[in-house]
Structure 1
Amino acid sequence: MNNTEQQFLNDLDAKLWKAADKLRSNLDAANYKHVVLGLIFLKYVSDAFEERQESLLEQFQTDDDDNIYYLPRDDYDSDTDYQQALRNELEVLDYYREANVFWVPKAARWSTLKEKAVLPVGTVLWQDEAGNDVKLRSVSWLIDNALEEIERSNIKLKGILNRISQYQLDNDKLLGLINTFSDTSFTKPVYNGEPLHLHSKDILGHVYEYFLGQFALAEGKQGGQYYTPKSIVTLIVEMLEPYSGRVYDPAMGSGGFFVSSDKFIEEHAKDQHYDAAEQKKHISVYGQESNPTTWRLAAMNMAIRGIDFNFGKKNADTFLDDQHPDMRADFVMANPPFNMKDWWSESLAEDVRWKYGTPPQGNANFAWMQHMIHHLAPTGSMALLLANGSMSSNTNTEGEIRKRLIEEDLVECMVALPGQLFTNTQIPACIWFLTKDKSGKDGKKCDRRDEVLFIDARNLGYMKDRVLRDFTADDIRRVADTFHAWRTGEGYEDVAGYCAAVDFLQIEKHDFVLTPGRYVGAPDQEDDGEPFADKMTRLTEQLREQFAESDRLEAEIKRNLGALGYEC
């Protein structure tokens, strides 16, 4: 992305957030995100729909032997008939679905919202299927009607889109948002007169992620339930490389891992010169989320990007109501709540998922881990964000479970993360990478049985502001490349203070503690070329001089205080 494109996105963020933030005087962050994200959703699907309409209209009128959409003018008696035929063709649903574009009914299109929202309450808008007049009740009702029409026409979103009438917002405030959003286009963007080469999904995805991050900050601890920092998600996806197969997240939040997987395929397609759209057909995503609000956000997040998804029939507790009991995934990725206490039920006592030991009732860390292992395919890989305590704790059964996981050779890599990465917690975190098969029999990896890679990334990253830390693209690339080099056996070397490949016996000597700092050691110090004896003599003399100077300064201070009548 060039500087102009980045500046365009930054200005767009600021403009939209400033408009949305005006709702804060009427609603708290937990509620006004639904209003704002609902409108962003409607604006985007309308823009994408209109872009497809423009493309179709051009094709309908282009006489080309290879153009199957062409409508010859000569087939119609008059220009009026021809124009009507064009309008009729533009309303054929299949033209949009074949291009993976949302079908947007007329009542849900942004042009309809903008036109009707300014009318006086009580104005007749249109007639329903029974011929009855439909009158404008309020702007929030108009928006809810649009969302309902979208759901009715797109079965995947049935019951997903959050209605906003319940928040009882003034017509003027909503009209202000509609007008501000109307000045924004997710298609064919122009900045300072310069056309930009940004795709509509890139712009929408950026805005959506920015808003989720802002809402997470505004909501504090609760907001973080649906938002995992983008750089951490990107790091995990870059390390696991989910090109194809089933991808599963049992604590999916707003679906960040799925979005990053989608982006990863697109970027890899550019590098390898293949069709990203075709490759995406080989990926299927499965998720689960207990929070109904977040479950809806995730579905919207997938829908606006055209990602096919299966998030179960409803929001549900992953442990008590598994929505995908028979699914075995090629890639499992998750950032579940750290150290979750209130998760146990007696119905879980003999659960088949606790293959490596029953997790402690007061901490769900190893319950999440074993749930993910249970859903992992025989050759699959998984990554799990957990609190640092999971690497060393012996509380209740945690130490025994960790020992079993190591003895069964499931642990592939451990990554220690820097602090201050999360908006909602200061608990230090790590990433566990596990797999059921480290033999390398697929030919793409070398045999890494009875070996674990440790990466200490605590010193990577930068402070993006006074409270939050983040990874750079180079940081992500360095960690991912280290992991891939070790996996493939091509160019990997231990680096003191950063990474180490450790065998089972060493881990056993450390009582099965998996903290990377224990194994990577301290960074090598640069040799300055000065012999030790000479350096010691020089430093001793320097220290003697500093002591003498300290004594002189102390005597001077005492004399000055004595002159002022103070005794020391």
Structure 2
Amino acid sequence: MADAKKSDLGFEAELFKAADKLRGNLEPSEYKHVVLGLVFLKYISEAFESYHAKLTEDEYADPEDPEEYLAENIFWVPTEARWSNLRNKARDPNIGKIIDDAMEAIERVPANEKLKGVLPKNYARPTLNKEMLGDLIDLFSKIDMRGNANEARDLLGRVYEYFLSGFASSEGKRGGEFFTPRSVVKTLVAMLEPKKGRVYDPCCGSGGMFIQSENFIEDHGGRRNDISVYGQEINHTTWRLAMMNLAVQGIDAEIKWNNEGSFIRDELPDLRADFVLANPPFNISDWGGERLTDDGRWKYGTPPKGNANYAWLQHILHHLAPRGTAGVVLANGSMSSQQSGEGDIRKAMIEADKVDCMVAMPGQLFYSTQIPACLWILANDKSANGHRDRKGEVLFIDARQMGHMVDRVRRDFDDIEIDKIAETYHRWRAKAPDQPYEDEAGFCKSADLDAIRKHDYVLTPGRYVGAVDEEDDGIPFEEKFAALAVRLDAQMTESARKAGLIRRTLGRIPGGSQ
């Protein structure tokens, strides 16, 4: 661990395991903020110190001017808040207060306005073990972040994101509310390819959609500042996690918070995004629908008061630019529900040609629920953005058999599976793909509106893609059926014989059944 930059991808897992051992009896939901706050402090401190050293060597620069750091998206860190100070005082009995003071000092700097009210400041509470805090500081001090600033950001970004995932797993359903599994986010991002423009998430959780979007751009040779990031989050604690996560990743974003949420108090009412990526909470009933019956966002029908699924879809369409596309994760029931007018809303959306692609996902992908989910890919203009005109068509992908179990309760996708889903969609929408799109029985099917109407506007991919073709072994069906009938008859005869033997055996036992 002395040289983390040269280690393999198991580094984050090993670090998490080591940090988790120090948790003791502290609940994961509480410990999460303790650890992630320190990871954040470690990153901004060393990013500052590294750039401070660089400015010191430049005779035309002033290393004590906070404005010098703003241009590089680096936060100004006062002397008492620097990691070197914490490391030297890790065994001080007052280390909790020292950390709190460091967080407050960072927030007080005018140049750090974005961090105001974001950082955790309850390390001095009596219930927090100070030995544990010292151990965590020692542990994180072993991460080598000297050298290239981008490498340092990437390293701590990986650590922060892995820790978010680990804590979501530890917390189960409660933890899953702030974290969307990475493979689900990567699938959406790979399908939509947000290379340039405005990216919006109305329920952004810890910010994973934005980070994967930025990673996608860098992986494909683009520039981070080609996209602008906007979001809103209802949970203040989760909003703070997102703000720290994005800061560690070096992402400049406009993330709003209020305790009423995007439906009741939309903080970005005039935003029209080129890409929307969202994983709203599934099937929520207390979303405030009774207060919004005549809202202008409900262009395709008033959502039922007892379920927000179609409120989210219409809120997202409302915020979509004329040539924009959206990817939304919802519960499978959203594809077929007819209750409380949901079927009528779905019909209106389909007839308006807003649904571009539907992907059925397997169950057990999420920390918060075991139920299967689906991906809705929406498009305002199916002839835009250099793709072929897909008006009147919808692509259905059935990915329910994909993925692998990573433990007893959770499934995950690998990159090959993600690429298969994304490339199928890309070939289907492309004008002249290198490899033409073809329907694949049991996996994908391009259907027109007439076919969807025949299915009463139900969008479940399994209804369209059909069954996987069985390999022809040359044996006629009649012969196979006759053989199966003979086998079934023999099995039923044997079953009756064994049942009689059991009854006779029980009859010979005193007090047994006759």
Give the TM-score normalised by the residue count of structure 2.
0.90
Can you list the C-alpha shifts for 1:470-495, whole angstroms capped at 9, x where unaligned? 11111100000011111115311111
Report SS of the residue matched to 2:9.
helix
Check if 1:211 corresponds to 2:163.
yes
Give the drift of 1:561.
8.6
Determine which of 435, 444, 459 is the counterpart of 1:514. Answer: 459
Counterparts in 2 of 1:536 and 1:388: CA distance versus 1, 3 Å: closer
Determine which of 100, 110, 113 is the counterpart of 2:83. Answer: 110
Q: Which residue of 2 aligns with 1:448?
A: 390
Q: Which residue of 2 aligns with 1:130?
A: none
Counterparts in 2 of 1:344 and 1:119: CA distance versus 1, 3 Å: closer
> What letter corresponds to residue 225 of structure 2 in structure 1?
K
Give the drift of 1:528.
1.8
After TM superposition, the structure 1 = structure 2 runs for residues 175-324 of structure 1, keeping only pairs within 5 Å, are 175-187=134-146, 199-269=151-221, 276=222, 279-312=223-256, 314=258, 316-324=260-268
Give the drift of 1:564.
9.3
Can you list the C-alpha shifts for 1:62-121, whole angstroms capped at 9, x where unaligned? xxxxxxx368xxxxxxxxxxxxxxxx954343443333333222111001112234446x
| CA-based RMSD | 2.9
Q: Which residue of 1 aligns with 2:113?
A: 155
- The whole-number CA distance in structure 2 between the counterparts of 1:165 and 1:144 is 6
Q: Which residue of 2 aligns with 1:437?
A: 381
Give the drift of 1:186.
3.8
Check if 1:99 corresponds to 2:77.
no
Check if 1:140 corresponds to 2:85.
no
Report SS of the residue matched to 1:242.
coil
- The whole-number CA distance in structure 2 between the counterparts of 1:461 and 1:439 is 32
- The whole-number CA distance in structure 2 between the counterparts of 1:553 and 1:174 is 66
Give the drift of 1:424.
1.2
Give the drift of 1:527.
1.2
Greater shift in the superposed pair: 541-550 or 471-480: 541-550
Check if 1:530 corresponds to 2:503.
no
Contact 2:236 2:257 in 1 (8 A): no
- The whole-number CA distance in structure 2 between the counterparts of 1:246 and 1:503 is 30
Counterparts in 2 of 1:524 and 1:187: CA distance versus 1, 3 Å: farther
Between Structure 1 and Structure 2, how many residues are aligned?
A: 504
Report SS of the residue matched to 2:8.
helix
Q: Which residue of 1 aligns with 2:411?
A: 469
- The whole-number CA distance in structure 2 between the counterparts of 1:381 and 1:10 is 35
Q: Which residue of 2 aligns with 1:133?
A: none
Give the drift of 1:181.
1.9
Give the drift of 1:313.
6.3
Report SS of the residue matched to 1:248.
strand
- The whole-number CA distance in structure 2 between the counterparts of 1:139 and 1:184 is 20
- The whole-number CA distance in structure 2 between the counterparts of 1:558 and 1:222 is 51
Counterparts in 2 of 1:562 and 1:455: CA distance versus 1, 3 Å: same
Gaps of 5+ in 2: none
Give the drift of 1:509.
0.9
Q: Which residue of 2 aligns with 1:45?
A: 44
Report SS of the residue matched to 2:453.
helix
Can you list the C-alpha shifts for 1:507-545, whole angstroms capped at 9, x where unaligned? 111111111111111111111233445545655666677
Counterparts in 2 of 1:545 and 1:149: CA distance versus 1, 3 Å: same
Report SS of the residue matched to 1:493.
coil
Can you list the C-alpha shifts for 1:212-256, whole angstroms capped at 9, x where unaligned? 122223333222111111100110011000001000000000111
Counterparts in 2 of 1:554 and 1:159: CA distance versus 1, 3 Å: closer
Q: Which residue of 2 aligns with 1:84?
A: none
Can you list the C-alpha shifts for 1:193-222, whole angstroms capped at 9, x where unaligned? xxxx99223322222122212222333322
- The whole-number CA distance in structure 2 between the counterparts of 1:396 and 1:10 is 45
Larger radius of gyration: 1
Check if 1:497 corresponds to 2:442.
yes
- The whole-number CA distance in structure 2 between the counterparts of 1:313 and 1:456 is 36
- The whole-number CA distance in structure 1 between the counterparts of 2:383 and 2:225 is 29
Identity of aligned residues (%): 51
Report SS of the residue matched to 1:318.
helix
Report SS of the residue matched to 1:301.
helix
Give the drift of 1:384.
1.1
Counterparts in 2 of 1:170 and 1:3: CA distance versus 1, 3 Å: closer
Counterparts in 2 of 1:422 and 1:321: CA distance versus 1, 3 Å: same
Give the drift of 1:358.
0.9
- The whole-number CA distance in structure 1 between the counterparts of 2:314 and 2:134 is 49
- The whole-number CA distance in structure 1 between the counterparts of 2:36 and 2:350 is 44
Contact 1:385 1:429 in 2 (8 A): yes
- The whole-number CA distance in structure 1 between the counterparts of 2:503 and 2:244 is 73
Contact 1:288 1:315 in 2 (8 A): no
Q: Which residue of 2 aligns with 1:14?
A: 17
Report SS of the residue matched to 1:398.
helix
Give the drift of 1:170.
3.8
Give the drift of 1:157.
1.1
Q: Which residue of 2 aligns with 1:31?
A: 30
Give the drift of 1:426.
1.8
> What letter corresponds to residue 278 of structure 2 in structure 1?
A
Report SS of the residue matched to 1:378.
strand
Q: Which residue of 2 aligns with 1:83?
A: none
- The whole-number CA distance in structure 1 between the counterparts of 2:449 and 2:368 is 35
Give the drift of 1:17.
2.7
Report SS of the residue matched to 1:319.
helix
- The whole-number CA distance in structure 1 between the counterparts of 2:281 and 2:381 is 27
Contact 1:330 1:377 in 2 (8 A): yes
> What letter corresponds to residue 49 of structure 1 in structure 2?
F
Determine which of 375, 384, 392 is the counterpart of 2:319. Answer: 375
Contact 1:344 1:362 in 2 (8 A): no
- The whole-number CA distance in structure 2 between the counterparts of 1:508 and 1:291 is 40
Can you list the C-alpha shifts for 1:433-489, whole angstroms capped at 9, x where unaligned? 11110124x4x2111101111111100001111110111111100000011111115
After TM superposition, the structure 1 = structure 2 runs for residues 80-95 of structure 1, keeping only pairs within 5 Å, are 89-95=62-68
